[in-house]
Amino acid sequence: MPELHALDPRHARMIWYSVEGERFVRALRGEAVPLPVTRRGGYGNSKVLAPECRVPREAWLVGRWLLGKAAMRLRRDGRLCRRVTLTVQPLGVPRWAGAVRTHPTADTAHLLKLYRRLWQEMRRARPEARRLLSLGVHLGEVIRLEERTGDLFLPVAPGALTRREEAARIADLINRRYGAGTIRFGVDRPHPGFFERG
């Protein structure tokens, strides 16, 4: 611990590959370290897939699970997204990424339809991809629910949830109370990582 305390903050920045290293050492010394105000750009999840999840069918199910988790966090924070991105790294094949824009939404069922469309585009673009190393989903171009304008075609009032978004929010409440996965939006495959194992 004395070595960490004596570390030059600029050197800590190089070790961490980030200004966070410098902030950490300065805070450890008792200095007041102001934290910058940040703005969330999106919600996402990604996984390096376990060997049994690397075939496309299993990876597809993991992606559905990742998207559901991101959508739940989006709703929890009172936000909507306008862009869905899928990134896939097959083994031995170039990486693929695609995105689709949408009306502002936090509707998991709608986001899953967009995910399906992106997945089909990826399979057409990378038909030779038999094993997938990793995949990620990202819900971007986020706005606050209060910023939503009314929409004649949804229909939805300004700053309000649609009926399906409200149903998804209620599913989130039930899952928090009775356990994750009590209510699901179809079939998915949980893929816990090191920090999620209990």
pLDDT above 50 (res 195): no
Say if residue 109 is in the same domain as residue 165. yes
95, 18: one domain: no
Q: Are residues 32 and 46 in the same domain?
A: no
pLDDT (tens digit per residue) in 50-105 = 999 999 999 999 999 999 999 999 999 999 999 999 999 999 999 999 999 999 99
100 in the same domain as 13: no
Residue-number span of the structural domain to which 173 is assigned: 42-191
Tell me the pLDDT tens digit for each residue of 158-174: 899 999 999 999 999 99
Taking phi over 0 as left and psi of -120 to 50 as alpha, with beta for the rest, 55 belongs to beta
- The token pair at 106 is 């936090």
Contact 30, 99 (CB under 8 A): no
Asked if residue 136 is part of any domain, the answer here is yes
Instruction: State the CB neighbour count (10 A cutoff) for residue 18.
Output: 12
121 assigned to some structural domain: yes
Beta strands in the chain (DSSP E): 42-48, 79-90, 96-105, 132-140, 143-144
**Total domains in the fold of the chain:** 2
* Same-domain check for residues 146 and 51: yes
User: What pLDDT score does 32 carry?
Assistant: 87
pTM (2 decimals)?
A: 0.79
Residues 121 and 178 in one domain: yes
Predicted local confidence at residue 36, as pLDDT:
75
Q: Are residues 133 and 51 in the same domain?
A: yes
Q: Evaluate whether residue 196 is within a structural domain.
A: no
